[in-house]
Structure 1
């Protein structure tokens, strides 16, 4: 099938394990590689999961969105792509670990554990702070912000919150001094039984029908919360455990199709900072609920303060480095040094055989690093004399020497734990949520790195670096950090090396998909903003009355125009609105049509040049969102009639030094 596999739905969710990974033990490359099968033990969920809450219209039904023009597909795996890493990949993996150890970047398990030691109560308290529900464990638990956030959660997400509050309460033995969070949840999710059953049936039908439409592809559905999809798979596993066709464990990666919502794809960089904060809170809740269901234990770590290096480039916190770089180039979102390294390697290195694998000269690398620190910002550095393998080694060294992991100390081990999930879609669900949780500098830098690695893979015929080779080389550099106890692997078993590189492989292959915000999260953000804008009308210290009024108000919305409408679009240049235009919206109108009509008017800048423009929705139930060109504007109008449409000039891309 050319690297694609046939699947059947419904199917059982595969068993998962939660191993206690130990410290690292380096194996010499000359040691024979033993093949060890990975045995997973099934985990029983001793509770009856509640029904899912489906996203309301206009989120498109996957049944109607599987057509080619509405599909977002990941690139097809190369016909030449190996299904498993070869012996050279194994040797390169252990060689890379040895290089990291010799360079002093190998984790010190004892010191890392001392820095990250937290009790269960502290873990749960920090988690509640991160999701914006810290008041649930304080004396002032009757907080309207808590209520508004809880009112947007699905039942499985709410259960995850409740478990954290219960753990915190038990840890501090304060049950009798605090109001129990169950009192809030009982009012927040008092749904009509028939509505709940209807929602669950819609979710099941959507998941089944989409999969039947393309049996050779994976359908990545985002209308239903990922944790609720896991609940459905668990129920199906109990009913049809012996009749499910399992995915062949041959290492291939299928094409993944993500049906588009009629409101368009929303990427994390398309939202305002205020909405991104809400996205991160909701993503953390859903990820935690998903981990509870599939049996992954997530322990986050905090790092002790460390002495800052004197170098202006290496070992500098990513946020600090970007802050300094933005003084020179305000538009930059990734460190200028990385931009230059990527540009140099794309020009001189992607065709070099063994790039990333073959190390550079130690003496030249040391000299190169010193020259960069002395001359890079002064603009005196000469790239003509740099060898590609030396630049690639410096690139990996830069990532390893960051004072905090690129994947952050909080979530580094959660990224690593993804390798023990057996279902591909659930691996992608976890990675999608984890990407949304990363701070903006880390997320942008990781994206730039993965785009470069994808270009290396695309030149496989010349550089002999396929996806497995790139993944096995880069995995230790990304998932090992001297400040965090590692969960990567120990020993030289073939299966362990494969799984250590598997997460890296998924990040490279499916990166475009992973940087999008799931539809169910966007729907929750809109509900949260909508309820927040009306809270002054319904503010009541009693949670029950507040939630009832919000729920009743949402049901009494007047029907919106479903045929056509005329919208006034603001034209904004810089911080000022310089004009307006009228646009007639019908059921077929898309954002691209509005942009085309606007460009025909020939609006030019003062210097006479034409500019590229983006269309945004601002206000209403969203802070600010840049629209995908395929957004159906009538659906957008019906979804957010209180918002404005604004045309803005596209920001210029960073050019580096």
Structure 2
């Protein structure tokens, strides 16, 4: 998909969010309008580096970090493991595994499932910027406070269409994986609600883990979990612009200046 077409599709989502739900997305196109091209990096480091600096596999949904693909594949082979993502791996083993990964060594195939799940959480938590962009997080939180469940889901999934391409493809792959995990909850005891509570803080980077819990932080954490729950339940439409908005795109393509409309401010 061409860069301009992708940006116009994002603009269509931004405009509808504002007109239909009163949700504004300030700075939605801030330095994030480039196409999703795979970059080559001499570094093998996996943790604590930007998405753009990571090695990628070309998947059906686009370019996805190699580590994330390998980790999800390993976990899918053990998808019936009880407490997947909830049970903590060994701190000593995790430290050794991440050192090997950062050195470019293949070590996931022999690692325990709980350790691999722990590495995935660390991977997202240690990204320099949250994989769900900071400039969109307030809009996501507002979507969770709309009056009806139908409106909340529609607005949340529409906001997923505004996410930058690099983040979008990584998240699409991850939520497809989590949807599969949730479907095996009879064995692993991790349905979409449990997964969302565990993973939301890692994907949205909210607050300090040592921060004291109060009414405001508790409310925000619940809203964050609701965002992730919606994505897991609707993984098949994550980042997919609804048909009625897609039909508007050709007419909007007439002026590339539309990308820099007042809605982008």
Q: TM-score, normalised by structure 1?
A: 0.34
CA contact (8 A) 2:51 2:167 kept: yes
Q: Deviations over 1:175-209 (max 9, x none)?
A: xxxxxxxxxxxxxxxxxxxxxxxxxxxxxxxxxxx
Q: Which of 446, 451, 461 is the equivalent residue of 2:176?
A: 451
Distance 1:446 1:517 in 2: 16
Which residue among 277, 288, 306 is the counterpart of 2:18?
288
Task: Specify the alignment match of 1:325 in structure 2.
Answer: 56
Give the distance between the partners of 2:112 and 2:12, measured in 1 at CA: 45
Matches within 5 A, 1:328-367: 333-348=63-78, 350-367=79-96
1:313 counterpart = 2:46: yes
Name stretches of at least 5 consecutive residues in structure 1 with no aligned partner.
Answer: 1-270, 304-309, 533-657
Q: Equivalent residue of 1:411, what SS?
A: helix
Please say if 1:275 is aligned against 2:8: no
CA distance, structure 2, for counterparts of residue 371 and residue 493 of structure 1:
36
1:372 is the counterpart of 2:107: no
8 Å CA contact retained: 1:407, 1:478: yes
> After the TM superposition, which residues 15-34 of structure 1 pair with which residues of structure 2 at under 5 Å, given as runs?
none
Q: 2:247 aligns with which of 510, 518, 523?
A: 523
Question: Where do 1:88-487 residues align within 5 Å?
Answer: 271-292=1-22, 312-321=45-54, 324-325=55-56, 333-348=63-78, 350-376=79-105, 381-481=106-206
Local SS of the residue matching 1:504: helix
Whether 1:506 and 2:230 are equivalent positions in the alignment is yes
CA deviation vs aligned residue, 1:28-79 (integer Å, no higher than 9, x gap): xxxxxxxxxxxxxxxxxxxxxxxxxxxxxxxxxxxxxxxxxxxxxxxxxxxx
Relative to structure 1, the CA distance from residue 476 to residue 289 in structure 2 (aligned partners, 3 Å threshold; closer, same or farther) is same
More helix by share: 2
Is the CA contact (8 Å cut-off) linking 1:416 and 1:479 kept in structure 2? no
Deviation at 1:401?
0.8
- 1:398 Cα shift? 0.2
CA contact (8 A) 1:300 1:409 kept: no
Q: How many equivalent residue pairs?
A: 239
Higher relative contact order (CA 8 A, sep 6+): 2
Output the CA distance in 1 between the equivalents of 2:98 and 2:235: 30
| 8 A contact 1:431–1:514 mirrored in 2 | no
- Measured on the aligned residues, the alpha-carbon RMSD in Å equals 3.0
Distance 1:472 1:359 in 2: 15
Deviation per residue, 1:296-325 (Å, 9 max, x gap): 57665989xxxxxx872111111222xx43
- Structure 1 pair 384–283 and aligned structure 2 pair: CA distance change class (3 A): closer
- Bigger proportion of residues as strand: 1
1:192 aligned partner: none
Structure 2 match to 1:251: none
Q: Structure 2: how far apart are the matches of 1:468 and 1:311? A: 34
SS in 2 for 1:443: helix
Cα distance change of structure 1 residues 407 and 364 upon mapping to structure 2, 3 Å threshold: same
Shift of the alpha carbon at 1:482? 6.3
Any conservation in 2 of the 1:315–1:401 contact (CA below 8 Å)? yes
CA contact (8 A) 1:357 1:473 kept: yes
2:100 and 2:107 in contact (8 A); partners too: no
Contact map agreement 2:98 2:119 (CA 8 A) in 1: yes
CA distance in 2, matches of 1:493, 1:366: 30
| CA–CA separation in structure 1 for the residues paired with 2:48 and 2:239 | 27
For residues 404 and 430 of structure 1, what CA distance do their matches in structure 2 show?
A: 23
Structure 2: runs of 5 or more not aligned = 32-42, 256-265
Counterpart secondary structure, 1:334:
strand
Find the aligned partners of 2:221 and 2:127 in 1 and give their Cα distance.
24
Are residues 316 and 494 of structure 1, via their aligned partners in 2, closer, same or farther at CA, if it must alter by over 3 Å?
closer
| Structure 2: distance between partners of 1:298 and 1:521 | 17
